[in-house]
Chain A
Amino acid sequence: MSDFVFTRRDFLKLVGIGAAGAAAGCAKPPADKLIPYLVAPEDILPGVPYWYASTCRECSAGCGLLVKAREGRVVKLEGNPKHPVSRGGLCARGQAGLQSAYDPDRVRTPMVKQGGAWRPIEWEDALKLASSRIAAAKGGQKLALVTANSTGSFHKLASDFASAAGGTHLVYEPFAHESLREANRRTFGQATIPTYDFAQANVVFTFGADFLETWLSPVEHARDFAAMRARPDTHVVSIEPRLSLTGVNADEWVAVRPGGEMALALGFAHVILGENLGPALGERGALLDAVSAFTPEAVEKDTDVPADQVREMARHFARGRPSLAVAGGIATQSEQSVALLAAVNLLNYVAGNVGRTVRFDRTLNYDAVASFADVQRLIQSMGSGAVQVLLVHAANPVYATPAWAGFAAAMDKVSFKISLSSVLDETADRCDLILPSTHGLESLGDAEASRGVHALIQPGMQKLPMIDARPEGDTLLTLAQSAGLGAGFAGDWTGYVKAQWKSLHGRLGAGRDFDTFWSDALQHGGVWEDAPATAVRWNGTPAFAAPQLKGGGDVALVLYASPSFYDGRGANKPWLQELPDPTTKAVWGTWAEIHPATASRLGVKTGDALKVETDAGSVEVPAYVTGGVRQDVVAIPLGQGHTAYGRYAKDRGVQALALLSPAQDGASGAVAYLSAKARLSRGTKALSLSITQPEKSQRDREIGQIIPVAALLGGAAAATNGGSHGEPTTIGAGAGGAGEETAHGARFERSAAKKGTTTSPMVEPEGYRPPPHSVSAYEPKPEERGRGPRAIPVSEGSYRNGQHRWAMSIDLNSCTGCAACVVACYAENNIPTVGPEMVKRGRELAWIRIDRFEEKLEPGRHDVRNVPMMCQHCSDAPCEIVCPVYATYHNPEGLNAQIYNRCVGTRYCSNNCPYKVRAFNWFDYSAPEKATFAFPEPLNWQLNPDVTVRSKGVMEKCTMCVQRILEGKGNAKDEKRAVKDGEIQTACAQSCPTQAITFGDLLDPDSDVHKKSFGERRYWVLEELNTRPGVTYLKRVRRENA
């Protein structure tokens, strides 16, 4: 009898039991091990961050760093507010320097090349091999040591090492500014780089110097620039064939013919001298003779700038004293770059700026940096076989020298090449032996990047355990000892650095013993001494000649330094690769910028392949069509096209230096980046360009707003201030102009009331009632309070006790669009990079972006607006009401919070967000086993332990750095006091070189953010939607008076 029937119900029961078992099995993850310290380091506590002062080495500016370490690992770099150069800001490149310490492609052990392949080798064997080769190459210029600009003890060690070995030491920087130094030597008798004081200047003319991007000391310039822009009567003119980010921040763009900058500068000088607008000068007659050929009419012919405009601009420049003219960007480095820079020096001199805005005091330390002529001498002696041993540290000349120079081929003739690099870049890859160096965050060093600024590079952590590297100083000392280079190389690197600082101690010790002096210097990031200015007079007028571009073709090839990659060294950092270019908003590649007229002639549009051909070669790159270049120009950024240098850099974009034919400045030897003509044609390759913001029009939505300076000051004020410069007036709610601001604010309110309008964003429309859950600066009435998610009574507990309304103000008059905030946010909030394919689908995860709106992009008074855009933390947030699971909600302190573990990924919130600031995790960027994993070891060691690393399927967005808010509130609680204004800073606000972003508590009427948010220039983006954001923007000031 078989009465048992296996029914569907039975089956379901069985399945249920099985599922229950499986679920029980999943209840607990396997237990981890907890490893305590064996002996706890003094004062270090797990969970508490420690800060070390240090110095950035991503470029030669040497900004001050504060290095944040958690549990012995550096997790973030911030600017040191006490540092005399950077004063608290830090640029995108500087912050991304962190990723080179955790680069997954770092060289992990010493390696030797055998049969064309790299093999690991023990340190002892590697050092023995290297020192025997060095010993054999002693004397007779058979050894060459190439380093980057390191200025401090390491520079001394390297020089001593090379001279003890009878060889040469070459300090290689691709952007060596040798023309600037040479021009200053010829005209002022000082072969140095002076301080350019943007803060003092009333009128600034930049002849292609991208001083907010890569030129000299961008963070310092940005800070000074913002100080200048806080005054109403300042005027900035950008004179360049391609509108750079610096040009975007100018009031006016003079699209000069490529190579015409010098004639224009001399034309200005001619007018100033001829009309006697400058100070009395003994050399006036001689100088006027020197520029006699450059009458405004003659200049018009060379530059396409009308003679009347030349006269007007010159008068304006002279009137604005102190004014400032700068030149020397990579894009203008031609065969006559010394002539251009001398012309600009002349202009500054005749306008009376030298000694005021151009000062030879805290000169930038490029003293030891080789000119390209020196590099060529090395290439020649390597090519002839004279050099037998080559050592390279931190420089990548194989990549960064133009192909015509033949560095790589000459290097191959050297019989033994040793790299001290920490990553396999193009140069290291051509070597025979690698002795990997530690990163600047792992080892001690020092630098004197500018005169009088003796900075220490303090390690923020022990070296990474999986990377068997040694400090380069130790490696050189060991090699010198075992190669028998003399007695000067005893001891270890730390001792060597300290020995150098003993002499500083003698001078600056101020009676303290050395240990106190040393630890004080470590604590502050170094010691600073005053650098008295050297007075200079006009020393001699060089010959002025305009550059001629060579080769067949109808457009000029303009190569410019990438703001993200500098000379190419930034290309191996994923944060920088995914950082949208400030002009094109393109990522992970190279493009060519062409004018719409050129594009329609060729029949290409943005993203299509464009073939750029010169006499030296050709490349195919995606075109980017923009009004920001002249019709006779094609502009390509440098820094990409690596053939090595790790997974993030390799095979991205093109190396545009390959388009150059041999061309150098005759006087300084500098590479002439602006020297070739190019032919353009439609390309044949299937290329694509990933652009985060393809649409650059704001379509009348007034997202980025401007206010004419006259409207700001009022008609009468503008009339009295119109002709004079240098009034101590400031615009905007700053610390200095607070009182005035209130007055302006009051006037604004009155005028709005008079007209009977409600245009002011902070004025509620008649009959408007905030929804019950809103928490804002306006205290809702008791009856307006409702019930929040899951019936938690919002009138109770923390909602009732909400003490703060966290808010932010963004001053568009200060913001330069440099995107330092974007990288800061990536670093602070563990944001994964997603790669070019995902960016093309709009899936980048950035929490803050810089929107670029091109209202009017043509020569003259252009209007391009940069608007940092992140979650606006709306009081009436459209995202909150559509979330079906309450994953996004409003917190008692006004934050729009996003709870990852609650989110089920409906993406309704993102659909409903008018600002489009929410990012969805389409893939698992946090799971090591997935191909999409964004943090391959040791990159994951950088992750901020205070922030969740999001998993697949959840929405994420700006939290206003809630972890920093909680830390700040905790600190205040510990000290039993209220939170101080300015104590809590979001990552973006902290990093901002111009302090355009202010964060604080809107409920505190004395807070900086309160003053700014209720100031005269305030507005809300898309305020007509009544979202009532927590982020208030301050309008950019438009200066009409010229």
Chain B
Amino acid sequence: MKRALALVIIGSTLAAATVAFTQSFSVQLGANKGPRQPINFSHQIHAGKLGMNCLYCHYGAEKSAIANLPPVSTCMGCHKIAVTDRPEIQKLTAYYDRGEQIPWVEVYRLPDYVKFNHKRHVLAGFACQNCHGPVQQMAVVYEYPPLKMGWCVSCHRQNLTNPDHPATMDCVVCHH
């Protein structure tokens, strides 16, 4: 009797934990590890197969702390004529025609007390893939790095004596 009670308690605790775990992602997981996006955009096709430069769309990455998402008009620059017969492209066109922004789901998120500057890292010559992983192979983008401070610091530590772009170990550079 007591054993049964204990099993029930264990079982329900585990179930609650599982629910809590999955609910925390308030988004459905897509085909791969990343979240399902409103349009099934594939970096594998654009960055991989077509070999487009990351900065073609995310042009803010070398000019600003924030690597921007491309405006919908940038997508339409090609997709007014390119593969307009695909259902996903028609979704895109529909957004554009309605004058509606696409509600992309955030993949990378830093807490408010972390200030990351894309421009400094891109201009120092780091490839996007250094942090974002093999995006050109990702059909669905997922969070590649652990995105914890230790991961940032390990790279900074390696580059402390980088002759051209010495990295800093100064906390306040990111936390201010």
Contact = CB atoms under 8 A, between A and B. Distances in A.
Do A and B come from the same complex? yes
Interface of A: 2, 4-6, 10, 14, 17-18, 20-22, 24-40, 45-48, 792, 796-799, 801, 889, 891-893, 895, 897-902, 946-949, 959, 962-963, 966, 970, 973-974
Interface of B: 1-3, 5-6, 9-10, 13-14, 16-18, 20-21, 23-27, 35, 60, 63-66, 68-74, 96, 99-107, 109, 111-115, 117-120, 123, 157, 160-161, 166-173, 175-176
Given A28-B25, A47-B65, A959 B13 contact: no
A27 B147 CA distance: 12
Given A17-B10, A38-B72, A45-B64, 12 more contacts: A6-B5, A14-B9, A21-B13, A25-B24, A36-B68, A36-B104, A37-B101, A47-B60, A798-B169, A963-B115, A966-B117, A966-B176
A798 B160 contact: yes
A38 B73 contact: yes
Please provide the 10 A-B residue pairs with the shortest distance between their CB atoms, ordered closest to farther: A21-B17, A25-B20, A797-B160, A47-B66, A47-B64, A897-B172, A36-B69, A30-B26, A40-B71, A37-B71
Given A45-B64, A797-B160, A963 B13 contact: no
A18 B69 contact: no
Contacts of B71: 36-40
A892 B2 CA distance: 62
Contacts of A40: 68, 71, 73-74
Contacts of B157: 797
B20 A901 contact: no
A21 B14 contact: yes
Contact of B170 (A20, A29, A798): A798
Per DSSP, chain A at the interface is loop
A27 B23 CA distance: 11
A174 to B, nearest CB: 42
A21 B18 CA distance: 7
A895 B17 contact: no
Given A20-B17, A24-B21, A970-B119, A798 B109 contact: no
Contacts of A797: 157, 160-161, 166-169
Contact of B35 (A29, A31, A895, A959): A31
A897 B27 contact: no
B170 to A, nearest CB: 5
A897 B171 contact: yes
A1001 to B, nearest CB: 16
Nearest to A796: B160
B166 A902 contact: no
13 contacts: A4-B2, A5-B2, A22-B17, A24-B20, A25-B24, A30-B25, A38-B71, A40-B73, A47-B64, A47-B118, A792-B169, A948-B175, A949-B112
A900 B112 CA distance: 11
Contacts of A4: 2-3, 6
Contacts of B5: 6
B160 A889 contact: no
A99 to B, nearest CB: 22
Per DSSP, chain B at the interface is loop
Contacts of B2: 2, 4-6
B62 to A, nearest CB: 10
Contacts of B64: 45-48
Given A18-B13, A25-B17, A962 B172 contact: yes
Contacts of A26: 24
Contacts of B123: 973-974
Contact of B26 (A5, A6, A31): A31
A892 B20 CA distance: 43
Contacts of B170: 798, 891-893, 897
A899 B106 contact: no
A569 to B, nearest CB: 33
A899 B172 contact: yes
A891 B171 contact: yes
A32 B109 contact: yes
A33 B104 contact: yes
Contacts of B73: 37-40
Contacts of B109: 29, 31-32
A45 B100 contact: no
B168 A798 contact: yes
B69 A34 contact: yes
B2 to A, nearest CB: 5
A966 B26 CA distance: 36
A48 B67 CA distance: 11
A316 B25 CA distance: 79
B161 A28 contact: no
Contacts of A32: 105-106, 109
Given A6-B6, A36-B71, A31 B27 contact: yes
Nearest to A797: B160
Contacts of B70: 36
B124 to A, nearest CB: 9
Nearest to B120: A970
A279 B58 CA distance: 72
B161 A901 contact: no
B69 to A, nearest CB: 4
Contacts of B21: 21, 24-25, 27
A963 B74 CA distance: 31
A18 B172 contact: no
A48 B171 contact: no
A37 B72 contact: yes
B133 to A, nearest CB: 18
Contacts of B66: 45-47
A28 B24 contact: yes
A948 B112 contact: yes
B25 A31 contact: yes
A17 B26 CA distance: 22
Nearest to B101: A35
Contacts of A798: 160, 166-170
A14 B60 CA distance: 49
A36 B63 CA distance: 17
Given A14-B10, A47-B64, A798-B166, A33 B106 contact: yes
Contacts of B14: 17, 21
Contacts of A33: 103-106
B41 to A, nearest CB: 12
Contacts of B167: 797-798
B1 A45 contact: no
A47 B116 CA distance: 11
Nearest to B57: A36
Contacts of B106: 31-34
Given A36-B71, A948-B176, A801 B166 contact: yes
Given A24-B21, A30-B24, A38-B96, A891 B166 contact: no
B59 to A, nearest CB: 8
Given A24-B20, A798-B170, A34 B104 contact: yes
Given A31-B26, A45-B64, A21 B169 contact: no
B73 to A, nearest CB: 4
B13 A36 contact: no
Contacts of A898: 172
Contacts of B176: 897, 946-948, 959, 962-963, 966
A946 B101 contact: no
Contacts of A962: 172, 176
B11 to A, nearest CB: 11
Contacts of A21: 13-14, 16-18, 20-21
B171 A902 contact: yes
A40 B76 CA distance: 12
A38 B99 contact: yes
Given A27-B24, A899-B172, A36 B160 contact: no
B21 to A, nearest CB: 5
A288 to B, nearest CB: 67
Contacts of A24: 17, 20-21, 24
B13 A17 contact: yes
Contacts of B103: 33-35
A525 B105 CA distance: 41
Contacts of A897: 170-172, 176
